[in-house]
Amino acid sequence: MSEYRLKDLVKIKNGRDHKSLADGVYPVYGSGGLMRMVDSYLYDKPSILLPRKGTLNNIQYSDQPFWTVDTLYYTEINQNKVDAYYLYYYLKLLDLNSLSSGTGVPSMTFGAYNGIKVKLPQLDIQKKISTLLRAIDKKIELNNRINAELEAMAKTLYDYWFVQFDFPDDSPQGQGKPYKTSGGKMVYNPTLKREIPEGWEVDTLSSWIASDKTGDWGKEEQEGNYTLQVDCIRGADINGLNGNGKIAAPNRFILEKNDHKLLAPFDLVIEISGGSPTQSTGRMAYITDDVLDRFTHPLICSNFCKAISLRNKDLFYCFAYLWNDLYGNGVLFGWEGKTSGIKNLLFDSFVTKHQVPIPPMGLAKQFFDFAAPLEQQKQTLLKENARLESLRDWLLPMLMNGQVTVGEAS
């Protein structure tokens, strides 16, 4: 192992403002990740993107042309001394908060970064370790792309059947052709102020719901009657539950008598407090057997969430995609209240007042049968990703300090 200062391995550069750039094909990265795509790039070689202020645990890597904003440094790497991907993972192991300066908002200066000590094996060893880590990451990325395609397939069919109303017309005259396109009868509904297929009912979202479960937070440690060990889903975990980020569900202990709050297959978890100026409350995740299998303990949701059960499980995916459509179109912004600066979804008012078209149960069942195996595939790949991430994170420090060689690890 040879020891360097980071300044011996990279040149740290400032990001720049991107607002004057036109839309295009090059990514703009900020401290939170991808921000937008623009028509120019700042740098086009492999680079480690280092946070300047705010959250300091979000070191990023790019090997494509990119732009960075001023909250993120980018680096020109001396590839004669260090493999870029190896150094990226080496720096990710560091606790940058312990090196930060300033009061209030954590920040990293050029000097703080330049002074970091880096211990490196020979360049060929770095490249072997980098190849192993990259192989794991590429498999995770592939699984994520497959999951995005599976989700897009289900969403496309939902839109085709339940938004455009071109579901298979099983009537004798329809012969399985797309309903609306083939001349299926549409009827104007004065409540929705639009046409819907003949025979479809209109009712509130609450007509789909059989029951709900409030959240719980319990205790951090087992004490007294708080003995039921659970994993607790918060609003921050909902995207991860759906496969679009990390899950960091805390392990808690709740009262045994509150076991009725445990999540079960075909429950839907809805965030009822939180949000932001640009993101409404109301994010949803759905629970299946495969989701529950991703966790060590039974699941509950936190006090900032609510779980609902539907009157018929065949409505499960119809309701989930309908809700996500309403969320994506900003409808839930109109059903928020505020308490002590925290936005709250006016859930009861929303579900008892918002009217929607109700599909026939046979059609809902057809969509369930289409979506369920896709969701099962998604969850299988998410479980594989979790195993790969765990393996990578277990190997990483041992590879970096020489305890394990690539030959032993592969």
Q: 117-120 and 2-5 as β-strands: parallel, antiparallel, unpaired?
A: antiparallel
What letter would DSSP give residue 161? Answer: I
How far is 186 from 165, CA to CA, in rounded Å? 9
Q: What is the pLDDT of residue 407?
A: 66
Query: Number of folded domains in the chain?
Result: 3
Same domain for 215 and 297? yes
Same domain for 69 and 105? yes
Given 120, 137, 161, which residue is the final one in a domain? Answer: 120
Q: What is the pLDDT of residue 103?
A: 62
Same domain for 106 and 253? no
Q: What is the 3-state secondary structure (H, E, C) of 199-248?
A: CCEEEEHHHHEEEEEECCCCECCCECCEEEEEEEECHHHHHHHCCCCCCC
Residue 40 maps to a domain = yes
pTM of the model as a whole: 0.85
Residue at token pair 């980018």: 74
Segment 22-43 shows an average pLDDT of 91
How far is 373 from 131, CA to CA, in rounded Å? 34
Q: What is the pLDDT of residue 58?
A: 87
Residue 191 maps to a domain = no
Same domain for 208 and 337? yes
Q: Please, which pLDDT band fits residue 370 given cuts at 50, 70 and 90?
A: very high
Segment 376-403 shows an average pLDDT of 90
Segment 76-94 shows an average pLDDT of 93
Report angle CA 13, 16, 19 to the nearest 5 degrees. 165
Residue 183 maps to a domain = no
Q: Per this entry, what is the length of the chain? A: 410
Q: What are the tokens at 329?
A: 């179109």
Is 100 a residue whose pLDDT tops 90?
Answer: no
Same domain for 81 and 164? no
How far is 192 from 17, CA to CA, in rounded Å? 44
Q: What is the pLDDT of residue 409?
A: 46
Residue 187 maps to a domain = no
Same domain for 81 and 205? no
Amino acid letter, 298: P
Q: 267-271 and 273-274 as β-strands: parallel, antiparallel, unpaired?
A: unpaired
Containing H/E element for 30? strand 23-30
Given 357, 374, 396, which residue is the final one in a domain? Answer: 357
User: Of all residues in the chain, what percent carry a pLDDT higher than 90?
Assistant: 77
Q: What is the pLDDT of residue 410?
A: 44
- Give one DSSP letter per residue of 49-92, joined into a string: EEE-BS--S--EEESS-BEE-TTEEEEEE-TTT--HHHHHHHHH
Q: Are 271 and 235 in contact (CB under 8 A)?
A: yes
Residue at token pair 């329809």: 174
Q: Are 263 and 298 in contact (CB under 8 A)?
A: yes
Q: Please, which pLDDT band fits residue 323 given cuts at 50, 70 and 90?
A: very high
Is 41 a residue whose pLDDT tops 50?
Answer: yes
Segment 370-379 shows an average pLDDT of 96
How far is 302 from 234, CA to CA, in rounded Å? 5
Sheet containing 209-214: give its strands across.
209-214, 305-310, 267-271, 284-286
Residue 190 maps to a domain = no
CA torsion angle for 292, 294, 299, 304 (degrees, to 10)? -110
Longest dimension (CA), the chain: 79
Residue 79 maps to a domain = yes
How far is 284 from 331, CA to CA, in rounded Å? 14
Same domain for 70 and 84? yes
CATH code assigned at 273: 3.90.220.20
Same domain for 330 and 392? no
Given 313, 342, 357, which residue is the final one in a domain? Answer: 357
Half-sphere exposure of 60 (CA within 13 A, CB side): 23
pLDDT in tens, 243-274: 887 888 999 999 999 999 999 999 999 999 98
Q: What are the tokens at 134?
A: 């990259």
Q: What is the pLDDT of residue 375?
A: 95
Residue 231 maps to a domain = yes
Same domain for 253 and 298? yes
Nearest to 389 by CA among 247, 239, 285: 247
Is 59 a residue whose pLDDT tops 70?
Answer: yes
Is 287 a residue whose pLDDT tops 80?
Answer: yes
Residue 188 maps to a domain = no
Q: 3-state DSSP call for residue 44? A: coil
Q: What is the pLDDT of residue 248?
A: 87
Q: Are 268 and 308 in contact (CB under 8 A)?
A: yes
What is the average pLDDT score of the chain? 91
Find the distance separating the first CA and the last CA of the chain, reported in whole Å: 21
Domain that holds residue 275: 201-357
Same domain for 154 and 115? no
Q: 23-30 and 67-68 as β-strands: parallel, antiparallel, unpaired?
A: parallel
Nearest to 88 by CA among 111, 114, 62, 70: 62
Report angle CA 243, 322, 167 to the nearest 5 degrees. 110
Is 279 a residue whose pLDDT tops 90?
Answer: no
Same domain for 263 and 381? no
Q: Are 32 and 58 in contact (CB under 8 A)?
A: yes
Same domain for 348 and 250? yes
